[in-house]
Structure 1
């Protein structure tokens, strides 16, 4: 059974491990400006500690009692009832097995049912074809594109709450 649970300080080592021997571009792709290269447990723990007074929530993805990924709801806008999904990372050994779309479905359910959001959105780079397929499988639709300062093309995708 796959579950979405709050990320705990003790989980930081998994995220560091999944970034081991990866490039600064890899970190930028999944974390944006949220962390500095190379990522460290301290950076993750600092972000967890700052969460209480922020507009984001950090989660871990758990399958059969093992942490297999991390995902965040960021830029939570209580007035407009929107938020962005970001910093989504699965254990690289487990990609391509359907965990990604299942975890995203669970997180969207939390965003709509627990937070009462009308819309959630995310950004993905155009060269990340497997992630785009995952997001489309979950019901996200392409809303726009933008060219980032580094020349990468970001595709903005969104999903709306069918109950609202």
Structure 2
């Protein structure tokens, strides 16, 4: 468990499946993070939580909890962890829309990056972001991610083609520009 004055990151557990299922099937939440926008049965979500988010050696997933209200507001993960080459991909979804744009994603990702670079000793963390998601791009840049390339016109949303931007951060870049939070 990791925390700041604002949030707690708690390891995903089986009982998180119901909450995650609501977020996973909310097209407003997934519009700017999930390429497929498919709807899932509860059994599919439960299986995903248990076999991908919990019992997978190549991922570490955490529920984001608002410390003040003690409610789950989203999820963040390191996925595709490659321990040999010290790389991973990061993802985040703030599932509770009333928490959008209030800095919760920034704090959660900073905690996750601190864990990735300081505890797991990863060399590189990457992510993918849809080109129309300008707020997320600004957040990632603020945290120190750099654009590394793009998959041109690989996402079709609302009748238009969009790029998927690939961003990454190296351990020494994170350490040299580390943001500090009150990690109590």
Residues 1:63 and 2:66 aligned together: yes
RMSD: 2.3
Where 1:79 maps in the other structure, the secondary structure is coil
2:126 match: 121
Deviation at 1:20, TM superposition (A): 5.1
1:31 is displaced (CA, Å) by 3.6
How does 1:1-164 map onto structure 2 within 5 Å?
1=5, 2-19=7-24, 22=27, 27=30, 29-32=32-35, 37-50=38-51, 51-64=54-67, 65-86=70-91, 88-90=92-94, 91-147=96-152, 148=154, 150=156, 151-162=161-172
Task: Kindly name which structure, 1 or 2, has the bigger radius of gyration based on alpha carbons.
Answer: 2
Change (3 A) 1:45 1:54: farther
**Could you say what secondary structure the match of 1:74 adopts?**
strand
Distance in 2, matches of 1:71 and 1:40, equals: 21
Unaligned 5+ runs, structure 2: 177-184
**Could you tell me the TM-score, scaled by structure 2's length?**
0.76
Give the aligned length.
159
Unaligned stretches of 5+ residues in structure 1? none
User: TM-score, normalization: structure 1?
Assistant: 0.84
Which whole-Å CA distance do the structure 2 matches of 1:53 and 1:73 have between them? 11
Q: CA deviation at 1:93?
A: 1.4
Which aligned runs of 4 or more in structure 1 are off by greater than 6 angstroms? Answer: none
